Structure 1
Amino acid sequence: MSVVKIVCCLLLMCHLSEGKRSKGNRAENCITESSDSEALRVKEPYVSSSDFSLFLGDDDTCTLDPLQLHTLTSCGFNSSNPLIIITHGWSVDGIMENWVNMLAQVLKTHLGDINVIITDWMSLACQHYPKAAQSTRTIGKDIAHLLQVLQQEYQYPLRKAHLIGYSLGAHISGFAGSYLEGPEKIGRITGLDPAGPFFEGMSPTDRLSPDDAEFVDAIHTFTRERMGLSVGIKQDVAHYDFYPNGGHFQPGCELTHILKQIAHHGVLDLQQTVKCAHERAVRLFMDSILNKDKQSKGYRCSNSEAFDKGLCLDCRKNRCNTLGYYIKKVRTGTPKRLFLKTGGQMPYKLYHYQFRIQFINQMADIEPSLTIFLTGTKDESGELTFTPESIAGNTSFSFLVALERDLGELMMLRMRWERSDMLKTTWSDMLNIILWGVQEEKPWLSVGRISVKSGETQERTFFCAMANDGQHIEKSQDKDFVRCQEQTPKLHRRKHN
């Protein structure tokens, strides 16, 4: 147990750090805390503390200087094309992380004619975290100044700019938007797991907020607290805030997986491994571009607990949206929290199904262990095991299932009441015979109509027990349900894209 506690402490120390790097070293890139030049540069509003480079493809970049306009022309900046600015987060060693170039390459390769600029603020990002967090306004001002130059010299419209920031970079992007004066705003800001410490609970002017751009979206992937600290911010910061898998933690990032990675690759791989959940937001965003045919969809819900119960799978009135680059940019008065399930590796998309089972005239209070098999025109679900809360009287039970495969049009459902409590039941039967000389009637369930709704298609299918089979189901018995005969198009939800 003590080993686990030590590992958890190491996780906490490393979660906010950047992982595997591509080039550079701390001695060259990182200004020490006592540096006089840092304080001077922060105070100078138009002497940039950041380095900007135009991404040309592969590992090729061209350094930009907003004060030297010829660098924009010579590097190949095209004012006719959209602009995306990528901003990294906090760093421990002052070395740029691999995902920055990976994301830039994905954008250039799959989006065609586009300007991709990388913000390098390593000189301040590699300070102690509180110092780096304090510097986010300075870097935001640097980006705002770059955009102002593009406005003035190229008449570049801000609505064509899209800022993508990871961790502290998300708040930097927000500050950049807030520093721009005038009626026109940045077109879009995407926050990839915006940092939590020093920003959680702050006012909208002190963090990323919906006011910073025409449209703001955020993906929260690591909001689980450790010792009172959440790496990613938990509160709403955008028009649409996505919380994959509740936003707490991510599949494939569990402690057991981390320990296996350390066993195979050594402690040196710890830093890359432990930040798995925090960086998952970046991976999900890239996945939305790389696997355009498998877009993940989030659904508006009050919290992850209600979502897991299958209470929120509706797309009416903008209650659902697409996670990632191809999100529908619909501005609303109040922020929307959207939840979804994802897999542990790319492509991350899972297919959501909402089950509602009606139990009728249940006299005894029971908690059955049930297994469902769902069959569609494209595939089968395999075993789906669940245990409803105490069932008595007439009641309905709902839950959510996320599958890796699209089942197509749903055709049949099979339910089985597992004998997981067989020993307990056998002893109860024997006791009744010994004491009263009689055996109790076998427990049974009476199942009414079952509805299954697909989140992706918004189609709801109703299943009824086969007419010659009855509604009763006993332990160890399979019961088949087919599409109800009275099912009409009116019972289906309209399909939403």
Structure 2
Amino acid sequence: MKSLQLLSFLLLSCVIVSANTYGEKKKVQVSKENLRTGWCDCGLKALESQSEHTRTKKHQKNSETRFRLYTDTTEGDCQIFLNQLETLEKCSFNSSLPLVMIVHGWSVDGILEGWIWKMAAALKAHHKPLNVIVADWLTLARQHYPIAVQNTRHVGQEIAEFLEWLEESIQFSRSNAHLIGYSLGAHVSGFAGSFISGTKKIGRITGLDPAGPLFEGMSPTDRLSPDDADFVDAIHTFTKQHMGLSVGIKQPVAHFDFYPNGGTFQPGCHILHVYNHIAQFGITGITQAVKCSHERSVHLFIDSLLHKNKQITAYWCNDINTFNKGLCLSCRKNRCNTLGYNIREERLPKSRQLFLKTRAHMPFKVYHYQFRIHIINEIQGKPIDPTFTMSLIGTKEDAKNLHIPLVEGITGNKTYSFLITLDADIGDIIMIKFKWEGTPVWENIWDTVQTIIPWTKGTHRPGLIVKALRVKAGETQQKMTFCSQSIDNVHLHPSQEKTFVRCEDRYQREN
């Protein structure tokens, strides 16, 4: 908890230390309401509403944003200068190929981060030839956070002017442009889409964990929104809020908004190590502390380029709690989509939130399964809270000793639903081994309870009756039913394991 408080304090410090663009220092007052909403007075000027998005063309030779065409030569990149056609030829820009532009975010050290070149290389290695440009706005990004926020509009304007120039000079269509913006760069991309003149829009914008402070709760004209391109997608990976602030924006900002692992935090990232990061890197250690979950959005996108045979599927759901029950694994009526570069592009009238689980490292793909188990508790009285494990035998491999995440006690006659994810593709499930974990002590207590509480169901020992297991595989949409291998003995007691095999589902057949 102390680590989270320190993180929030440092984030607030970044947000409320302000000066205007021309160096004039400005005192900022922050109220309790400001803290609660994650908003401060310094953001008022930075995010003045510009719903009409009018602008004046700057009559300057060079823009402050450097457009660096990525090449696979030893030089690495070649700079294209706005309004200088000879640089397009020098850098071998191919107007017949699509353009992907990578837009970085806020900078602490003024250096382009390593992930940028990893993404550029992954894009160039893709089977489809591309022009890949890095929009370098470091001079405007390496400022106090509110000033960098204020500069996002200016950078967005310069990117819009760059695309307009390509269109006017070499007939490159803006619909063939794809902007990939990380953190503040996501909103820069949104402003570029809203600033560009004419009725035609940029083809696609991808927001990688769009920045939260000074953008959360703002109107669509003051942040990335679905109106900024023909198609907009976003990946939210660090929306955990504390004191009203989160590093990444939580609200939907796209046609499809992906929330891996709920979007708040990512597996393998340890925010409690913030003290170690600060001790090692000083105040800049805050970037190291938040980097893992915040930057996970970047690596999920790179993963979609590098592992074409392991594309990640996400599913439309109301919230992560419902998703964790396995209730949202449907792909009917476009309820699922592919995360990353190979997404199915579809404009929707309303933002659609999709959820998924991932591993802690690349490749991040897991396989989602919904399990529905019908259990009858023959013991009258209070609900019992047993621990169950399950082993799945598949046609390719097995998955053993999987913990079953039941969130409520076993009562009466009820069906329980939950989500299980597997790191590997085990093929078709052909058998399930279902075990009630328990010790001899547990079993003795169970026997004692049974001697106290009478039953009238014949001579068998009362316990739990597990009638059927119904399974749905998210990735294949296959539905399966499993019945007890032993028809005569369907009772389950502590320390016992029952085997279930594929069977015909009477209810499914009737439907």
Instruction: Please state which band the TM-score falls in when normalised by the shorter chain.
Output: 0.7 to 0.9
Deviation at 1:96, TM superposition (A): 1.4
Give the corresponding residue for 2:436. Answer: 417
Q: Secondary structure at the match of 1:450?
A: strand
Aligned to 2:395: 377
**Structure 1 residue 481: deviation in Å?**
0.6
2:485 is the counterpart of 1:460: no
TM-score (normalised: structure 1): 0.86
User: What secondary structure does 2:347 align onto?
Assistant: coil
Q: Which amino acid aligns with 1:165?
A: G
Pairs within 5 Å for 1:100-115: 100-115=116-131
Following superposition, the deviation at residue 272 of structure 1 comes to 3.1
Distance 2:211 2:453 in 1: 65
Q: Partners of 1:308 and 1:280 in 2: how far apart?
A: 21
SS of the counterpart of 1:279? helix
One-letter amino acid of the counterpart of residue 222, structure 1: F
Q: Which residue of 1 aligns with 2:424?
A: 405
Shift of 1:366: 1.9
Residue 322 of structure 2 corresponds to 306
Alpha carbons of 1:172 and 1:16: their partners in 2 closer, same or farther (altered >3 Å)? farther
Q: How does 1:252-291 map to 2 (within 5 A)?
A: 252-255=268-271, 271-291=287-307
Distance 1:456 1:444, change over 3 A: same
Q: Which deviates more, 42-51 or 329-338? A: 42-51
Counterpart of 1:315, as a letter, is: C
Structure 2 partner of 1:55: 70
Q: CA deviation at 1:117?
A: 1.0
Name 1:359's counterpart in structure 2.
Answer: 375
The match for 1:478 is 497
Quote the offset at 1:187 in angstroms: 0.7
Residue 490 of structure 1, CA deviation: 6.5
In structure 2, the CA distance between the partners of 1:222 and 1:434, relative to structure 1 (3 Å rule), is closer
- Aligned 1:161-200 pairs, distance under 5 A: 161-200=177-216
Structure 1 residues 250 and 187: alpha-carbon distance in aligned structure 2, compared to 1, 3 A threshold: same
Rounded to whole Å, the distance in 2 between the matches of 1:337 and 1:429 is 48
Secondary structure of the structure 1 residue equivalent to 2:119: helix
Q: In the aligned structure 2, how far is the partner of 1:165 from the partner of 1:54? A: 16
- The 8 Å contact of residues 169 and 194 in structure 1, kept in 2 or not, is answered as yes
User: Which of 429, 435, 450 is residue 469 of structure 2 equivalent to?
Assistant: 450
Secondary structure (helix, strand or coil) at the match of 1:462 reads strand
Report the AA paired with residue 67 of structure 1.
N
Q: CA RMSD in A?
A: 3.2
Is contact 2:462–2:491 with CA below 8 Å preserved after alignment? no
Q: Cα deviation per residue 1:424-454 (whole Å; 9 max; x = unaligned)?
A: 7746866998999xxx996511112211111
Distance 1:444 1:74, change over 3 A: same
Amino acid at match of 1:395: K
Amino acid at match of 1:373: S
Separation (CA, whole Å) in 2 of partners of 1:202 and 1:7: 24
Residues 151 and 491 of structure 1, relative CA distance in 2, 3 Å threshold = farther
Q: Distance in 2 between matches of 1:488 and 1:116?
A: 54
Deviation, 1:380, is 1.1
* Structure 1: unaligned runs, 5 residues or longer: 18-30, 493-497
Structure 2, unaligned stretches of length 5 or more? 15-20, 26-45, 47-54
1:223 is aligned to 2:239: yes
What amino acid is aligned across from residue 72 of structure 1 in structure 2? L
**SS in structure 2 of the partner of residue 275 of structure 1:** helix
Change (3 A) 1:489 1:392: closer
CA change 1:416–1:69 in 2 (3 A) is: same
8 Å contact from structure 2 (residues 471, 479) kept in 1: yes
Shift of 1:407: 1.4
Residue identity (%):
50
- Tell me which residue corresponds to 2:414: 395
Name the counterpart of 2:58.
45
For residues 239-250 of structure 1, what are the structure 2 equivalents within 5 Å? 239-250=255-266
Stretch of structure 1 that moved more, 302-311 or 61-70:
61-70
Q: Equivalents in 2 of 1:366, 1:378: separation in Å?
A: 36
Cα deviation, residue 363, structure 1? 4.7
Question: What amino acid maps onto 2:328 in structure 1?
Answer: C
How many residues end up aligned between the 2 structures?
466
Q: Is the 8 A contact 1:443 1:475 kept in 2?
A: no
Q: How far does the alpha carbon of each residue in 1:93-116 deviate from its partner, in whole angstroms, 9 at most, with x for none? A: 222111111111111122442111
Structure 2 counterpart of 1:386: 404
1:154-185 C-alpha deviation (Å, 9 max, x unpaired): 11111110000000000110110111122211
